[in-house]
Each structure stands twice: as structure tokens, then as C-alpha cells.
């Protein structure tokens, strides 16, 4: 242990630090974790680097005798800025919730001090999901501070001064015997520095996150544990069959990469649970039509479509026609939801099939088209192709490209293989053309943006190859498109529960290796993980095919 810690010393010694007047010159935070419980965080200070470092090493050595330590996260303060409590509240209020990336010391001598990871992992600056910005949560702040400091007592008077801290450091994994330098304060802060998102790392991300999803499937029933709020390890007590089906679809995409038996077992359990519990078949005018039902006796267009996508992917990868009849019946269910103007009704009541909501969310339309095209590949049904073509013409007329929806990109990419019409290609290009700045600069990870880019990239390849409609790329910023694609893929690493993130939450072993949504209180829900997974599988396939 001492050896790895001392090896990491060089990282800190190489940093050029400003002189902190009226403060300790050297301020170290170190967090210790057994990988099973929330990390304990400590502070050492000193006027001399060697003394402060030696104190840190000595303290870690003593603490390691009392409990097993798997991870240690060490940071040094690189900047200090004085603010009043009032100014702190104003700064937090102008920051997107959970995107406050500074540490805080409540006094000049850092007697009471908290790293950025502590603040966020304990919801100390979180005011709830109805408030878009951060908010000083005095209750959560005091609960955690009292658990950390036995003598803690503090009054958040607006006139008091506090100190914002920037930092940089290293993460040490004693199990792997590896040292990872971490990013300084900023959008990437606190996670290991990754120079290149290569095939090996992508495989690791795909493996761990797909196995996380596998672990969420009850091995007896096949039902998912729907999601978790990791700050306090709270279960999200809800269910959504659309997200069940689409998560299994993403697991199948991952299985094509990993071929994990454990993953396939969970996939098959989850498929059978969904079909046996939620798929209903009705005989209508002599035809059997199937639908995926959901809570409140709803039939969602997107849910039935996701079920088709899941079963088509299973049929493709396992090479089986086991679900072919059910797939045909589900397709008839989707087709029956198409209206006379070629649009789709989004939500029906079960079992009378009356329309509950004509429109709920744009994603349902693209999911339906993509699902039908995937099934067309298997059945060559002219009825399916006609349905899709009519619908796409309607969505072009209604300028649905304005939604920049990844599902439409997936669907059109399939459609042009059979009908390479100019308007279809144009729709796909328009779907992303004016959206590149958003993809490049979006502060949240927004994983579906990578899915949008990966599906559109296939369309761009086809345009470049077939030449017939290549005029659509005139004026299109192809180079900027690829730059945005790579940047967005790399940015998703900020939403991965690396051990150096997970160790600060209540139950690290539950969430490590999964993906989260930072602005939703670091929520880990099956569909959150699914979208990261689908995008990264597509990106890995792209990287592999270009090397």
C-alpha cells in the first residue's frame, strides 16, 4: 500500500501551486473506501509539502490496520476563493443542479471542509427535481457534516465567509494495483484521465454496464429492479414495460460484443417475463393482433415497438424463429394504430383499444418505424413497408426532423436500404444538420445524442458510397459532424460510475460499472444505462470497422 501511495506523490509534486496566504499552504483530501460502504474523507494540511504528505501517508497506514481499504482517492487543493454564504447561494443557484464542481471549506483553516464529490454524493447542494439549478440544502449538509465531524456545529448566516476549493489528484485501486491521475476541477473533474477511448476501454464499459443490467433482472421472475437513487441507495419503485423491452434490446446489442452467458441468461428471463406478463393478443376482424400493455391498462405505440425490436434482435443474434408468429401479430398491432392521415395514435386503452392519447412523445413514432423496418428484414412483408413509407412521408411533411430524434435516424437508415429515396436521405440529414453545436457543447451527457450521431453516420456513409444523392452533403459540415461524434462519445465517460465516483455513494458496489444521469440526482435507471450502452456499442463497432 505504502508503495502505491508514494508512487503517486510525483503527480502532486509536479503541480505548480499558487501560494495560499492566510491558509495552509498544502491541503490534501484523501478518501478511503472498502468498495462496499460510503467512503470516509479526511483532510491533512501543512506549510511544508513533505510534512503534509508524510502525515497523509501515516494516517492512511494507521487506518488501513483497522479496516480493509480497496480504493483511495487523493486530491490536493489547487485554488482557494473566498465568498460569503450569500454569494455561495447565488453561485449555486446559477449552476445546473448537481453540476457544482467545487469543494467548500467553511473556515479559513479548513477545519470543516468537503470535496466536490462529497457535496454531490450526499445531495448537499440539491433542492429536488423541481428546481433546475442547485440549492444549498442545509438539512442534508448538516446531516453529512455531523457524521463526518463529531464536533461539527455551524450556522449558515449569509454574512459569513466560506472558501471555494479547486483540486486535482489521483485515484489508487489497490486490488488492481494501479494509479490513475484524475482530472482537475471542471466538467470532467475527479475521474481518471482517459487519453483515448479505444476498443479495449469500450469493451470494458459495455461489459460492466450490460452486466449491471443483467444483475437488475430477478433470476427467478425476469422482472427488472427498475432503478436507484444512489446518494442514499433508494429504490425507484415504479415500472415501465417499454423501458423493460428497450433495455433488453440494448443488452442484446452488448451480448453481440461480450457473448456473456450470464448476460444471455438474464436476457432470456426478461424476455419471457415480458411476454408472459404484459403481451396481450386480441382477435380483431379475424386477425390476431398483439400489443405490449403497461400500467393503467395502457397500450403504448413505443412499448409495442420496443417489444418488436427486442424480439427481432434476439431472432437475429440467436438465429431462431421462435417468436416469429408473435412478431407478426405485434406488427399488426402497430399497423392498427396508424391513422388515416398516416400518423400513429400513441396510447390506446386496453382492452377496448379506444384512443387515450393521440400524441404523447415524439419518440414513439420513430420507435414504431424502426421496429417495423427491423421486422421487414425478416418477413419482407409489403404491408409493413407500405406502412413505414406512408408514415415517413407524413413525418417529412410535418417537419419532424426538427425533433432531432435518434429513433428516426435509426428508422431511416434501415428504410434507405430498400427505398433509397432522396426525401428520406434529406430527412435524415436535416435531422442532425443544425444540431451539431448542441451535440458538441451540451453540458449534460445526453446519451441519446451519441445514438443519433451513430445512426446518422451510417446514412452519411451510404450517401458517400452511392453518390446518387451525394449533393445532400454539399454544405453539410462532415468534418464537424465527425468531431462532434467523437467528442460526444468521450463525454459519456462523465456519466459512468467509475469506482472513484461510486465510492462516495451509500452503496458503491450496487452502482459501480453502471451509468448515471447527473442532473437527476445521479439516477441509475435501466433505461438510462440502456441509452449509454446502445450508443457505445455502435461507437465501438464504428471504431473497429475503421481500424
Residue 185, SS3 per DSSP: coil
Residue 203, SS3 per DSSP: helix
Q: Where are the alpha helices (DSSP H) in 259-323?
A: 261-278, 301-318
> What's 232's DSSP letter?
T
pLDDT digits (tens), the chain, 547 positions: 668 898 999 999 999 899 998 999 999 999 999 999 999 999 999 999 999 999 999 999 999 888 899 999 999 999 999 999 999 999 999 999 999 999 999 999 999 999 999 999 999 999 999 999 999 999 999 999 999 999 999 999 999 999 999 999 999 999 899 999 999 999 999 999 999 999 999 999 999 999 999 999 999 999 999 999 999 999 999 999 999 999 999 999 999 999 999 999 999 999 999 999 999 999 998 999 999 999 999 999 999 999 999 999 999 999 999 999 999 999 999 999 999 999 999 999 999 999 999 999 999 999 999 999 999 999 999 999 999 999 999 999 999 999 999 999 999 999 999 999 999 999 999 999 999 999 999 999 999 999 999 999 999 999 999 889 999 999 999 999 999 999 999 999 999 999 999 999 999 999 999 999 999 999 999 999 999 999 999 999 999 998 7
Q: Which three cell numbers, joined as nine digits, stand for 450?
A: 451519441
**Strand locations in 147-278 (E):** 161-173, 178-182, 227-229, 234-235
> What's 217's DSSP letter?
B
Residue range 199-545 forms a domain whose CATH class is mainly alpha
Q: Which three cell numbers, joined as nine digits, stand for 133?
A: 439549478
d(CA 36, CA 33): 7
What is the per-residue burial (b if ≥16 Cβ within 10 Å, else e) of 194-211? eeebeeeebbebbbbbbb
Q: Which three cell numbers, joined as nine digits, stand for 148?
A: 463526518
Of 245, 247, 311, which Cα lies nearest the Cα of 278?
Answer: 245
d(CA 536, CA 354): 39
> What's 518's DSSP letter?
G
Domain edges within the chain: 2-182, 199-545
Q: What angle do CA 413, 419, 420 make, to 5 degrees?
A: 70
**Residue 69 CA, distance from chain mean position:** 28
pTM more than 0.95: yes
d(CA 63, CA 47): 23
Q: Which three cell numbers, joined as nine digits, stand for 395?
A: 413525418
- Are residues 525 and 236 in contact, defined by beta-carbon separation less than 8 angstroms? yes
Q: Which three cell numbers, joined as nine digits, stand for 51?
A: 510534512
Prior bond of 351 cis (ω within 30°): yes
Amino acid at each position: 500500500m505504502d508503495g502505491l501511495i508514494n508512487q503517486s506523490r510525483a503527480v502532486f509534486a509536479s503541480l505548480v501551486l499558487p501560494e495560499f496566504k492566510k491558509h495552509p499552504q498544502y491541503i490534501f483530501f484523501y478518501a478511503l473506501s472498502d468498495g462496499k460502504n460510503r467512503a470516509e474523507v479526511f483532510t491533512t494540511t501543512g506549510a511544508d509539502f513533505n510534512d503534509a504528505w508524510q502525515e497523509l501517508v501515516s494516517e492512511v497506514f494507521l487506518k488501513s490496520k483497522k479496516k480493509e481499504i480497496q480504493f483511495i482517492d487523493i486530491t490536493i487543493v489547487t485554488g482557494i476563493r473566498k465568498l460569503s454564504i450569500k454569494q455561495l447561494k447565488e453561485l449555486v443557484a446559477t449552476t445546473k443542479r448537481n453540476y457544482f464542481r467545487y469543494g467548500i471549506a467553511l473556515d479559513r483553516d479548513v477545519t470543516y471542509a468537503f470535496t466536490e464529490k462529497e457535496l454531490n454524493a450526499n445531495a448537499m447542494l440539491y433542492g429536488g427535481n423541481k428546481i433546475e439549478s442547485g440549492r444549498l440544502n442545509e438539512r442534508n449538509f448538516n446531516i453529512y457534516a455531523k457524521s463526518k465531524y463529531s464536533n461539527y456545529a455551524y450556522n449558515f448566516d449569509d454574512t459569513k465567509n466560506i472558501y471555494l476549493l479547486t483540486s486535482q489528484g489521483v485515484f489508487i485501486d489497490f486490488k488492481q494495483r494501479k494509479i490513475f491521475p484524475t482530472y482537475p476541477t471542471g466538467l470532467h473533474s475527479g475521474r481518471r484521465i482517459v487519453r483515448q477511448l479505444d476498443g479495449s476501454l469500450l469493451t470494458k464499459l459495455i461489459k460492466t454496464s450490460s452486466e449491471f443490467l443483467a444483475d437488475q433482472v430477478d433470476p427467478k421472475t425476469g422482472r427488472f429492479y427498475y432503478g436507484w437513487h444512489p446518494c442514499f441507495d433508494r429504490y425507484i419503485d415504479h415500472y415501465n414495460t417499454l423501458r423493460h423491452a428497450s433495455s433488453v434490446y440494448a443488452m442484446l446489442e452488448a451480448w453481440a460484443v461480450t457473448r456473456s452467458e450470464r448476460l444471455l441468461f438474464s436476457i432470456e428471463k426478461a424476455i419471457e417475463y415480458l411476454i408472459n406478463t404484459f403481451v396481450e393478443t386480441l382477435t380483431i376482424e379475424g386477425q390476431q393482433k398483439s400489443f405490449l400493455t403497461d400500467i393503467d391498462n395502457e397500450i403504448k405505440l413505443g412499448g409495442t415497438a420496443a417489444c418488436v425490436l427486442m424480439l427481432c434482435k434476439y431472432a437475429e443474434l440467436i438465429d431462431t424463429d421462435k417468436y416469429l408468429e408473435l412478431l407478426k401479430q405485434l406488427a399488426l398491432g402497430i399497423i392498427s394504430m396508424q391513422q388515416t392521415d398516416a400518423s400513429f395514435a400513441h396510447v390506446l386503452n386496453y382492452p377496448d383499444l379506444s384512443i387515450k392519447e393521440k400524441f404523447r412523445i415524439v419518440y414513439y413514432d420513430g420507435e414504431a418505424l424502426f421496429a417495423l423496418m427491423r421486422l421487414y428484414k425478416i418477413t419482407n412483408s409489403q404491408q409493413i413497408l407500405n406502412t413505414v413509407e406512408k408514415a415517413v412521408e407524413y413525418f417529412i411533411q410535418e417537419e419532424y426532423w426538427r425533433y432531432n430524434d435518434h429513433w428516426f435516424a435509426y428508422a431511416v437508415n434501415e428504410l434507405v436500404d430498400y427505398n433509397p429515396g432522396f426525401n428520406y436521405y434529406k430527412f435524415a440529414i436535416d435531422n442532425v444538420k443544425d444540431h451539431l453545436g448542441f451535440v458538441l457543447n451540451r453540458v449534460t451527457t445526453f446519451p441519446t445524442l451519441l445514438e443519433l450521431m451513430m445512426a446518422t453516420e451510417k446514412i452519411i456513409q451510404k450517401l458517400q458510397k452511392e453518390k446518387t444523392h451525394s449533393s445532400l452533403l454539399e454544405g453539410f459540415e462532415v468534418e464537424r459532424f465527425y468531431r462532434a461524434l467523437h467528442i460526444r462519445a468521450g463525454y459519456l465517460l462523465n456519466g459512468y460510475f467509475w469506482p472513484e465516483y461510486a465510492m462516495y455513494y451509500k452503496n458503491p458496489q450496487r452502482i459501480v460499472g453502471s451509468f448515471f444521469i447527473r442532473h437527476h440526482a445521479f439516477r441509475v435507471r435501466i433505461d438510462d444505462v440502456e441509452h449509454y450502452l446502445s450508443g457505445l456499442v455502435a461507437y465501438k463497432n464504428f471504431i473497429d470497422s475503421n481500424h
